[in-house]
Structure 1
Amino acid sequence: MIEKHSKASGAGLERLCTQDWMQSTETEYGIEFFEAWFQRSAYQKHRHDTYALCLTTTGVQAFTYRGATQISLPGQVVVLHPDELHDGYAATQEGYGYRQLYVEPALIFEALQAMRPRHCSLPFVRTPVVMNRKLSAAIIAAFQGTREPLAIDSIIVQLAEGLLEADPSCQQIAQPRHLDVVALKRARQYLDTQKTRVVHSRELEAITGLTRYELARQFRQMCGTSPYRYLLMRRLNLAREQLVQGRPLVDVALEAGFADQAHFSRMFKATFGFTPALYRTLSI
């Protein structure tokens, strides 16, 4: 098992059992990814300066929050707000597992400004354990997908939408008042030319004049997918062309802008249903 203390999550954790484990990433693009399974270990009371959005994956998770004991079952999402005191422990002897995103509040706030025509404060979910399809789907996608900047933008938008939906005091999410079609076409044309590398959000902001969250939301309305997914498909289509030419897999992976062959193979199979090696065999 991997044990790694994270910056946001390590506070107050008692390590009492070697079978328990946790792993995390360094904060990148405003998000820290944290995953754990605990049976005996328990969090003492502590707080974060981020949103902590947690999807329970196995077992029963318990915690004390706002003066009450809360229970989260598999498939449920725990929403912990910045600077809110809480603890955490297994509610049964079998232990529990979860995946959690620590998200800088400023990112959620910025995404909200792109969604609503009027000023909107940060959502406050008064029920800390919820069944929320958008939040759970965003967390699942965050851990299953890549962590490239354009992908993170889409995750932030999903999380912001889910938080708004879970806050009954928020009005219905308003659609953008218009689409900046000219800017969106510039973004698409630029992505069409960048098939061999990762594109950063700031590049599209400079080209379109839209914020990354305005772009992510409007791009989906015009193109039916996110800027990240659109670019990913351009890169994978380039890889398909090179595969049928018989080029080595590692060369194809690097040419299409993937960090290594393993990453490329995972993304290719998730998209096309075949490993790159089998796709090449079937295509020749």
Structure 2
Amino acid sequence: MIEEKIEYWHNPIVPDIELSKASFQHFEFDQHIHLDYHIGVVTQGGQKYQHKGESYHLGKGCISTLNPDEAHNGQSVEDEGYQANVMSIPISYVNQITSELNIKEQYFSSPLSWAPDLHQAFLHLHRNLISPYAKQEQLQIETSLMAFTTELFERYGSVKTLNHQQHALSYQQVVDIKSQFHDEMHNVFQLDDLAAATGLSKFQFLRQFKAATGMTPHAYLKRIRLEYAKKALIKGEPIIDIAQQVGFFDQSHLNKAFKKAFLITPSHFQKRVL
């Protein structure tokens, strides 16, 4: 039986990039989003996930390229489980690379691609980034990371087109609500207030927000809080302060939500990445 776990790394050469290795058998990811680009491969078994209403199967030789703020889930294809390596690349890093190299594509057109060569290149890069000797190979790592990121966007990038699908809840209203969640995550939000601000009933607002984002407002806000909590943990901030900053009632509530989402407690995650 595969042990259900996620291990995390943080390399000071590229301090904003999060690295992880995971083993899952029965654990399933609920619908969620990320703040950064998430690149992943499986090294054993296979993972299936739903993304914008379509089903995808991540197996060996494939590479998963998930954009920020795109809802998806995840679970094992087989009863035996699967193992995966993941790298989280911040938007700021991608913007810097694409700007310096005059690449316009900053959005992956598909969440999954068959690319055996990039699958192997990713595993090699991931292995180097988590190596205890990484500091001795700083130039090689920086060069490899830039080359890998550039290749990904040159092959699979596309210009992002905004979805102006006609809902009573407009595209701009969705953007404004998301921005409010990001900027005021420490606040308590009431469904009545969110719905009233859009001119919709609570039922209409819930249904249309989920249709637009793939997640309920509560699930979206909770994930935002957890994503920002991870970034604060990497900076070494006290966990009790982080819980208050990102909007959890107390440290216990943060611990419970963090463990459910990432299979590791905030304190253990912080020890891994500092």
Query: When the two structures are superposed, what TM-score results if normalisation uses the length of structure 2?
Result: 0.50
Q: Which has the higher helix share?
A: 2
Greater RCO structure (CA 8 Å; 6+ sep): 2
TM-score (norm 1): 0.48
Larger radius of gyration: 1
